[in-house]
Amino acid sequence: MSTIHFSTFPRTELPPDFVFPLSKVFQTHEEDISTNKLEKGLTSDQVLAILRSDLQDLGFEVEAGKTKEQKIERPVFFGENGIPTVRYQIDAYHPDWKCGLEIEAGRAWMGNAVYRDLIQASVMVQVEYLCLAVPNSYKYLTSGRSSISRDYENTKNLAEALYGHSRLNLPYKLIVIGY
C-alpha cells in the first residue's frame, strides 16, 4: 500500500485527469522520498531533484537550481510593453494544465510555507491549479524528544476549511499531495 496520498479541492468537483499521472510521479519515487519510510526527511530541493526528470516528461517547466536563470517565475503584474513587473517563484509550472507545483519539506506546516504558497498562487497569472506537495510527517526534536508534525493532515484540514467556507473564494483549484 502506497504512503503517497492526494486530496483535491473543492471537494464538490472531480479531480482533474492530470492528478493521476502527477501523483504517479511521487509514487514511482516513494522509496526515495517518503517521509513515513525515511528516518530523516529530505529537503524540498532534494525531493524536487529526484522528481525533476519525470515532471519534465509530463510537460512541467521545473526549477533547475538556485540561480535566477534556473528559477521558474510566474508573473503577477505587467507594466509597460507587457513586461512583468512583479513575479513570484514557483518550483514547477505546467503551461497546458495551468498548474503550479510547490514542493515543501521541513518548514511546510510549522514554518508557514503552506500559507505563503496559498497566497502567492492566488495572484499568479495563469495558475488555475495549485499542487502543494507536503510531507506526510515531519520528524523533529523538541526539548530533546522526538516529535512528529502531520503536515499532510494539517494542510488537508486547512484546505477543507478554506474551500468549504463561504467567506473565502480562492481563484484556483487545489491539489494536496502527501509524500
Q: Residue 119 sits in a domain of what CATH number? A: 3.40.91
Residue among 35, 65, 31 nearest 48 (CA):
65
The answer as to whether 56 is a domain residue is yes
Q: Are 129 and 99 in contact (CB under 8 A)?
A: yes
Q: Which three cell numbers stand for residue 59?
A: 510537460
Show the domain range for 134: 5-12+22-178
Does residue 50 lie within any of the structural domains?
yes
Give residues with Cβ within 8 angstroms of 66, minimum separation 6: none
Q: How many domains does the chain have?
A: 1
Q: Which pTM value belongs to this model?
A: 0.94
- Tens digit of pLDDT per residue, the chain (179 long)? 899 999 999 999 999 999 999 999 999 999 999 999 898 889 999 999 999 999 999 999 999 998 989 999 999 999 999 999 999 999 999 999 999 999 999 889 999 999 999 999 999 999 999 999 999 999 888 899 989 999 999 999 999 999 999 999 999 999 999 99
Residue 60 lies in a domain: yes
> Does residue 17 belong to any structural domain of this protein?
no
